[in-house]
Amino acid sequence: MNKLNKVLAVASVTTMAFVGMAVAVPAANAATDFKTDTVSLTIGETLMLTLTGTGDFGTVSVASANTAAQNANVKSNFVGGYVLILNDQDTDTDLVGTTSSSNTIPTLASASTLLPNQSTSAWGVYVGTGTTGAAGSTFQPMPSSAGTPIQIASTSAISAAAGDNYPVTYGAQISGSQAPDIYEDIVVYTLTSN
């Protein structure tokens, strides 16, 4: 082979090598295998009520109007939403003295503002923002367990990620002749999914 033919022969082999790489035809006996896998998770329905703050007024004076603030936080992923209501645990809506049960502070007879120096003591509840239950705003009577509860919220969607917040403020006006005692009552927040 002369020198020119040698060069042509090398070029020809190189071209064939490139063609082989480009086509990459698998061998007639090549095998393959694969599996599929499903990535999944399940989220159940969740309904949770958290109360912060307290309904404890602490020590108050006679002839005074007082408030105690609380917040109800609802986390719910029920697509139909939820209902949150509030009422007394039983049919006695008085704040009752723990030393003497004859000492009582009744709930308001009707929605009204709290005023100090009244002839009678009374307590109630304010739901919502705005004046946030400050003395002077309108408080509602606490319904008994047999009455129509106060509806704090009614929704038709999943709550906010951090939950939905509902301020609740208790108010008490104390007459100048209220006997010393520790007065208590129990109220119930009931959260129900829609």
Binding site for Ca ion (CB under 5 A): 88, 90, 92, 185
Supply the minimum distance, in Å, between the C-beta of residue 108 and Ca ion.
14
Instruction: Please identify, using beta-carbon distances, which residue of 101 and 131 lies nearer to Ca ion.
Output: 101
Supply the minimum distance, in Å, between the C-beta of residue 48 and Ca ion.
25
Where does residue 10 fall: left (phi above 0), alpha (psi -120 to 50 degrees), or beta otherwise?
alpha
User: How does strand 187-193 pair with strand 112-113?
Assistant: unpaired
Instruction: Please identify, using beta-carbon distances, which residue of 56 and 90 lies nearer to Ca ion.
Output: 90
Instruction: Please identify, using beta-carbon distances, which residue of 9 and 188 lies nearer to Ca ion.
Output: 188
CA torsion 148-153-154-157 (nearest 10°) is -160
Instruction: Please identify, using beta-carbon distances, which residue of 82 and 141 lies nearer to Ca ion.
Output: 141
Supply the minimum distance, in Å, between the C-beta of residue 104 and Ca ion.
11
Give the whole-angstrom CA distance, residue 66 versus residue 135. 7
Supply the minimum distance, in Å, between the C-beta of residue 101 and Ca ion.
12
Question: Which of 93, 72, 101, 94 shows the shortest CA–CA distance to 146?
Answer: 93
Supply the minimum distance, in Å, between the C-beta of residue 183 and Ca ion.
11
53-to-50, 99, 122, 180, 186 alpha-carbon distances in Å:
10, 25, 21, 25, 15
Instruction: Please identify, using beta-carbon distances, which residue of 88 and 164 lies nearer to Ca ion.
Output: 88
